[in-house]
Chain A
Amino acid sequence: MAESIRPGKLDATDFLQIDELLSGEERLMRNTVAQFVTDKVLPNVGDWFDEGFFPRDLVKEMGDMGLLGMHLTGYGCAGTSAVAYGLACTELEAGDSGVRSFVSVQGSLAMYPIWAFGSEEQKQRWLPGMAAGETIGCFGLTEPDSGSDPGSMRTTARRDGDDWVLKGTKMWITNGSIADVAIIWATTDNGVRGFIVPTDTPGFTANTIHKKMSLRISITSELVLDDVRVPSDAILPNVSGLKGPLSCLNEARFGILFGAVGAARACYEAALDYAKERIQFDRPIGSFQLTQRKLVEMMIGVNNGMLLALHLGRKRDEGTLAAEHVSYGKLVNVRMALETAREARGVLGANGITLEYPVIRHMNNLESVYTYEGTNEIHTLVLGQAITGLSAFS
């Protein structure tokens, strides 16, 4: 046995000293993204959210750093570990879920399918520019009437000579109106297939969705494919069926289960600072038992969330992570983040509803994160099936 257990001097955020579980290289990558967020995102993010402005200038800068498709190898991608990618998502989402969403879509939803299922020619043509942030990608799976049940999609691709002709509508597409290239999933005579579609192809229209109250610094669009004709080499040759898009979603959800911890951490830290400064009844409100309980629950949520994320990240790097693990992480950590944001909002009182503090912004963003990339309900049923062997879907 080691020495006896004594009280320690513990950090209010990294209470469990999870930092010690990271390598020097992982910490340096994490710190680099944190610095970038502090320098380039936090000073203006409240205004961007207010104005519904996407900071496009950041894209090239993120490309220069190697943030885009960072966990992929070759073709200009940095080739980091999955844990490093996750930690980057944590820091980006501590800035804003919209920034992390951009990176998730670019790297995991647009670059990943080309990297995993594309031909050598497709990889060489698209990936270096996307890694550099010169080419923006989006991912078209969801449709107006096809969300949790993507198998019900109506978008079709039919052969016409050597070409493919795509017809249908995609909805809630992050980056849609600013994308140079879209990965479109469509049904064919041989099941669901993926297509790489340059957005300047005739018949392709992207309509920005306005009046969002969440993810306001992220562009969300409707894509209309009106007989979009693409050549035969636009199809992703190495995957067919829903496992194509679903494997992309698992990549993105992996980033989200780390990212949500960042949003939760930012809300917790804002609430903690506020509770120590805000005086009522001649005392900081942080001295009241009710407030302390809230702060402690938030702190526990953030620390447990980070431990869970790191555990799943290590499994990803070992090659032992299952899709059900990703559902577990996405479900638990986003739920935790949303609860943390709401609790923090309460601690801040009226100040909690203004963009002077990050809390309401994160809270509204997390409402989207809670349902996108697999709703809480769907991930629950994935886990339900995993432990009972009984599917709730069929």
Chain B
Amino acid sequence: MNIAVCVKQIPDPATPYELDAENHWVIRPNDQVLDDTDRVGVEVGLQLAEATEGTVTLFSMSPSGSLQGIRQALAMGADKAVLIDDESLKGSDALTTARILSAAVKREGYDLVITGTESTDGFTGVVPQMMSEILDVPCLSFARNVEAGDGTVTIERQTTTGYETVTSALPAVLAVTAGAEEPRYPTFKGIMQAKSKPVDTTTAAELGVDPVSSQTITAVDPVAARAAGDVVEDDGEAYLKIVELLEQVKVI
């Protein structure tokens, strides 16, 4: 099976993000890391590839030209990568991202596209659905326990009440949840081999996509500090006050 895994390189979540004053875009250092969610996507892709003697190709839009996170995924075992390295894609919105990634996977060919549910820096959470629409293939979202074979893919989809078992014909787009699998650690041999694995770079123009984003970020405000809680003194009747508060927030 020919598996495309879309991955994002993000600034190290351990360090505070900074936004540029003009566009409110995340300032991306040279040394970005693989988004944790995408480690899960790569793991699912590798397991499917191992089960079907398939290949895993990474796709990543990285206007900063950073490669560190891609190398991390290659070190885990992915076979090759396609990097869309294009200055004009800086600050792209989710739709532009989906159009670029869709054009790239379409050009390379695929049976299954795997993505995370949402990135850990932008959190838009809509790229997989947009890609399935653009590619005109089914979307299996919030997936875990992925099994593929015989031209189909079956997942458990997480819902608010439990899990649905969903089967789809291939090709398809599949968005995995953060806990779908425990991602493997890159091996040291893998890390050393990663630098000799093929990484093709391409541009929006080569993919025939006009990099126009329709979204602008007009303002960014910090999250309001959490207010101090109310203290209810128990004078023997405090339970009434607590029941009232619980009713107010519709817990009971």
Contact = CB atoms under 8 A, between A and B. Distances in A.
Contacts of B194: 25, 28
Contact of A65 (B31, B33, B187, B192): B187
Contacts of B185: 32, 35-36, 61, 64-65
Contacts of A66: 187-189
A28 B71 CA distance: 8
B64 interface: no
Interface in B5-33: 15, 31, 33
Number of chain B interface residues as a range? 10 to 19
A35 B191 CA distance: 15
Nearest to A88: B188
B179 to A, nearest CB: 13
Contact of B188 (A11, A27, A61, A65): A65
A61 B188 CA distance: 13
A27 B31 contact: yes
B186 A32 contact: yes
Interface string B174-197: 000000000001111101101100
A84 B187 CA distance: 13
B31 A70 contact: no
Interface string B63-78: 0000110011001000
Contacts of A24: 31, 67-68, 71
Nearest to B186: A32
Nearest to B187: A66
Contact of B187 (A25, A31, A64): A64
B31 A29 contact: no
Nearest to B66: A24
A25 B33 contact: no
Nearest to B190: A66
Contact of B33 (A31, A36, A80): A31
A28 B75 contact: yes
A273 B33 CA distance: 24
Interface in A285-299: none
Nearest to A63: B187
A25 B195 contact: yes
Contacts of A19: 31
A264 interface: no
A67 interface: yes
B68 A80 contact: no
Contacts of A28: 68, 71-72, 75, 186, 191, 194
Contacts of B195: 25
Interface string A25-46: 1011101100110000000000
Contacts of B71: 24-25, 28
Given A28-B72, A65-B187, A79 B192 contact: yes
B16 to A, nearest CB: 10
Nearest to B182: A39
Given A25-B195, A28-B75, A31-B33, A70 B68 contact: no
Interface string B195-226: 10000000000000000000000000000000
Given A32-B185, A32-B186, A36-B185, A25 B31 contact: no
A66 B68 CA distance: 20
A36 B183 CA distance: 11
A65 B185 CA distance: 7
Interface in A64-88: 64-67, 70, 78-80, 84
A78 B194 CA distance: 13
A344 to B, nearest CB: 20
A32 B72 CA distance: 9
B31 A32 contact: no
Nearest to B15: A11
B91 to A, nearest CB: 23
B68 A78 contact: no
A219 to B, nearest CB: 24
A73 to B, nearest CB: 11
Interface in B48-69: 67-68
A27 B187 contact: no
Contacts of B15: 11
Nearest to A25: B191
A15 to B, nearest CB: 14
Contacts of B191: 25, 28-29, 32
A91 to B, nearest CB: 12
Contacts of A80: 188, 192
Contacts of B186: 28, 32, 65
18 contacts: A11-B15, A24-B67, A24-B71, A25-B192, A27-B68, A28-B71, A28-B194, A32-B75, A32-B188, A36-B185, A61-B185, A65-B187, A65-B188, A66-B187, A67-B188, A78-B188, A79-B189, A80-B188
Given A28-B71, A32-B191, A64-B187, 14 more contacts: A24-B67, A24-B68, A27-B31, A27-B68, A32-B186, A36-B185, A64-B185, A65-B185, A65-B186, A66-B187, A66-B188, A78-B188, A80-B192, A84-B188
Q: Which 10 A-B pairs have the closest CB atoms?
A: A66-B188, A78-B188, A66-B187, A78-B189, A65-B185, A28-B191, A32-B186, A80-B188, A70-B188, A24-B68
